[in-house]
Amino acid sequence: MSAAQFLLLVAAGFLVWAAASRYRKYRRQQIAKQPLEPGWEDILQSKVGLYPALPNELRSALHSRMQLFLHDKEFVGCDGQVISDEVRLTIAANACLLVLTQTRPIYPSFQTILVYPSTYVATEKARDGMIVYDQHSVRAGESWYRGPVVLSWSDILHGSNNDEDGHNVVIHEFAHKLDEESGVMNGLPILRNSAHYAEWSKVLNDEYDAFLKRVERRRNTVIDEYGALSPVEFFAVISESFFEKPKRMKSKLPELYSQLERYYHLDPASWNTGSDTSS
Ligand SMILES: [Zn+2]
């Protein structure tokens, strides 16, 4: 093959790749633009507590991301759980709240969501000296590193319907998914700008230490005490509070709120959310 023929072949390969990539982008745009199906708006209004509070422009951003999410993810019912539109939409809407303004692909590292009717028993291998044994624990949800998300439908409903108790298992588990995108789960997700990392680390470390002290003294923390387990759980529970108790968080923990506001590029304290107040 002559050099000219080789160059021609490379150019042709590049054109094919560029056309395929343009087509993929076009297809994704078409999927994102699909209107909601009949009945979906009613499900969102009745099952997703934060949905009615969303400003209009964010509501249409949510619809687009939900369409992509529903196209990409596979839902599997376990222990007899039926995967209805209600189940799919409630999970998709809460999960996509976290990526409403994200420009990168949404949740690219996994495909499957397992849904149980209620809390389920997970079995893990544990070790005591030389003895390896099965350890059982009751769970409402979990997120496997680069693997499936597992959720309990009754806990999803309870957390999603109540938009101000600070508990939302879908937000919690999908915050873990954002955390793992950096390649390691450590409570530090990929930030929008590399210049933000130093400030994020300082504020999050200081806030985590102060939070641990409040937990120790049994003081009201705004944040679920489960976050005391590790910086990984801290990031997940502050994400729950950011969406479900935004006014209280902004008032009591303004520096933490402002880091999350910059990360999620959202200001839920300005939304019309239930009885969440700054006091
Ligand atoms: Zn967790």
* Whole-number Å distance between alpha carbons of 255 and 136: 38
pTM for this entry: 0.88
Buried b or exposed e, range 56-73, using 16+ CB within 10 angstroms: eebeebbbbbbbbbbeeb
* Whole-number Å distance between alpha carbons of 279 and 28: 43
Ligand 1 centroid to Cα of residue 212, in Å, is 17
Ligand 1 centroid to Cα of residue 1, in Å, is 58
Ligand 1 centroid to Cα of residue 226, in Å, is 8
Residue 8: predicted pLDDT: 83
Ligand 1 centroid to Cα of residue 95, in Å, is 14
Ligand 1 centroid to Cα of residue 172, in Å, is 6
Ligand 1 centroid to Cα of residue 277, in Å, is 26
Nearest CA-CA partner of 170 in 147, 139, 149, 184: 149
Whether pLDDT at 236 is above 90: yes
Beta strands across the sheet bearing 112-116:
74-77, 112-116, 149-152, 141-143
Ligand 1 centroid to Cα of residue 158, in Å, is 17
Residues in the 5 Å CB sphere of ion ligand 1: 233, 236
Residue 240: predicted pLDDT: 95
Tokens for 228? 């005391």
* Whole-number Å distance between alpha carbons of 240 and 195: 25
Ligand 1 centroid to Cα of residue 176, in Å, is 7
Identify the top-confidence range among 4-13, 26-35, 92-101, 116-125. Answer: 92-101
Residue 11: predicted pLDDT: 83
Ligand 1 centroid to Cα of residue 192, in Å, is 23
Q: Which domains does the chain have, with CATH numbers?
A: 14-270 (3.40.390.10)
Ligand 1 centroid to Cα of residue 104, in Å, is 23
Ligand 1 centroid to Cα of residue 227, in Å, is 8
User: For 38-66, what is each residue's pLDDT tens digit?
Assistant: 999 999 999 999 999 999 999 999 999 99
